[in-house]
Amino acid sequence: MKPDALRGHLDALLLATLDGVQLHGYAIIEALQQGSGGALDLPTGTVYPALRRLERAGHVSSDWSTVGGRKRRTYELTQAGQRALNAERDAWREFTTVIDGVLGGGGKWAQT
């Protein structure tokens, strides 16, 4: 999947990846790639500024800890982040329902 198509959804993808878990940066990147079956083709370096942006918005909090002898910054969802994720999921379902209704099948677009 092209990076430009993903960029607009990166915040939501990161929120979803952190749903119920506390992860460090690379673990988030791995989870994103595994979750997409390797289809997400985004420069992994763009994940870190996006995490900072989410932190600024109060949707994610972070903390430094030492894991396996290496200093790690781990991230987790805040309550506001959980609410934002729920809103993103609702908006996505609504969006896909509408688009699927037109493109999905049975409509005039699908028949042409």
Residue 54 contacts residue 60 (beta carbons within 8 Å): yes
Nearer to other proteins (CB atom), residue 70 or residue 108: 70
Of 30, 32, 37, nearest in space to 10 by CA:
32
User: Rounded to an integer, what distance in angstroms lies between the CA atom of residue 50 and that of residue 16?
Assistant: 13
User: Pairing relation of β-strands 23-24 and 70-77?
Assistant: antiparallel
Nearer to other proteins (CB atom), residue 64 or residue 112: 64
Instruction: Assess 72 for contact with other proteins (CB under 8 A).
Output: yes
Instruction: Assess 59 for contact with other proteins (CB under 8 A).
Output: yes
Binding other proteins (rule: CB under 8 A), the pick from 6, 22, 31, 53 is: 53
Instruction: Assess 89 for contact with other proteins (CB under 8 A).
Output: no
